[in-house]
């Protein structure tokens, strides 16, 4: 069984026994601590293992694997998480714009409001990424049929005289 599978199973058990709030309290504490350091030293590429991170932040390898699961989409070179074990060297080479965007997407206010971001992106840049995030969530129906367009059913009539008659 992989460490990633251990992580996902541990989450289910943890929530069942201790509750969802307890899970998020422990996980967010670890996540916030690691991100504070990564962002403060954002010019450095960190090479480490799950074991080393777990020891450094006084956590379990399962919770630390959860951190890897969360950060993976923001890495320049993503990992197949199923193949990582506790002693696999991982390179935390971040795409910072993607990371900020993903923190917005996760609604992780405790992360995207960290003061370390101020030293990375200007307020204008953060606002620009926030705008991109909001726009990515807008659903636009580009295939809308206008009243005077030909009906998509193929009758040759105007939409308003055919399928759109009762709308």
Q: Is residue 65 part of a domain?
A: yes
Q: Is residue 69 part of a domain?
A: yes
Q: Is residue 136 part of a domain?
A: no
Give the pLDDT score at 143.
Answer: 77
The length of the chain, given as a count of residues: 167
Residue with tokens 């967010």: 28
| 137-147 pLDDT tens trace | 988 777 788 88
Residue 40: count of CB within 10 angstroms of its CB: 14
**Residue 117 is encoded by which pair of tokens?**
């971001």
How many domains, in total, are found in the chain? 1
**Residue 122 is encoded by which pair of tokens?**
């200007």
DSSP 8-state secondary structure symbol assigned to residue 81:
G
Residue with tokens 């991982």: 90
Q: Is residue 63 part of a domain?
A: yes
Distance between CA 128 and CA 116 in Å, rounded? 18
Q: Is residue 14 part of a domain?
A: yes
Residue 159 neighbours by CB under 8 Å, 6+ apart = 145, 146, 147, 148, 149, 150, 151, 152
Q: Is residue 109 part of a domain?
A: yes
Give the pLDDT score at 24.
Answer: 95
Distance between CA 130 and CA 48 in Å, rounded? 31
- pTM for the whole structure: 0.82
Find the domain containing 88 and state its range: 3-121
**Residue 60 is encoded by which pair of tokens?**
């379990």
Q: Is residue 156 part of a domain?
A: no
Q: Is residue 51 part of a domain?
A: yes
**Phi (first) and psi of residue 28, to 5 degrees:** -65, -30
Average pLDDT score, the chain: 94
């Amino acid at each position: 069984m992989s460490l990633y599978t251990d992580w996902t199973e541990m989450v289910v058990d943890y929530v069942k026994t201790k509750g969802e709030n307890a899970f998020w309290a422990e996980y967010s504490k670890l996540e916030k601590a690691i991100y504070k350091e990564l962002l403060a030293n954002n010019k450095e590429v960190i090479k480490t293992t799950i074991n080393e991170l777990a020891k450094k932040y006084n956590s379990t390898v399962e919770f630390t694997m959860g951190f890897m699961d969360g950060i993976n989409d923001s890495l320049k070179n993503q990992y197949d998480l199923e193949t990582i074990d506790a002693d696999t060297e991982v390179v935390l080479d971040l795409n910072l714009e993607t990371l900020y965007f993903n923190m917005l997407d996760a609604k992780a206010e405790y992360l995207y409001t960290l003061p370390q971001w101020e030293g990375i992106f200007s307020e204008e840049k953060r606002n620009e990424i926030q705008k991109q995030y909001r726009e990515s969530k807008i659903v636009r129906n580009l295939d809308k049929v206008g009243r005077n367009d030909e009906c998509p059913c193929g009758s040759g009539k105007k939409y308003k005289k055919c399928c759109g008659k009762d709308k």
